[in-house]
Amino acid sequence: MRNLKRILLGVFILLLMLIILAFVLENQQAVSLLFLGWSGPQLPVSLVVVLALLIGMLIGPFLGWFLGRPSRAARKRLV
């Protein structure tokens, strides 16, 4: 049973990598983003999407932790 789980996990990871590779290869058009008058360099669409995903993966848990912790006043009420 343990080997079956390892094989399925390996197949899943391989399929995920193939999907990501196909996405990157299909989206090579260069785009330049404009934000508040600042124009970024021309980068492939796939790179922009992957960078946005990674930034969101870094910011999301931090915001969840920061907004989920009780405030000082709420902690005093608990004591």
Q: Summarize the confidence of residues 49-71 as an average pLDDT.
A: 86
Interval 8-49: pLDDT, tens? 999 999 998 899 889 888 888 888 888 898 888 898 988 888
- Please, which pLDDT band fits residue 72 given cuts at 50, 70 and 90? low
Share of the chain residues as helix, strand and coil, in percent rounded to the nearest 5: 70, 10, 20
- Please, which pLDDT band fits residue 78 given cuts at 50, 70 and 90? low
Which residues contact residue 29 at a Cβ distance below 8 angstroms, ignoring those fewer than 6 apart? 44, 45
User: What does DSSP assign to residue 69?
Assistant: S
> Distance between CA 10 and CA 50 in Å, rounded?
22
Q: What is the pLDDT of residue 8?
A: 93
- Please, which pLDDT band fits residue 79 given cuts at 50, 70 and 90? low
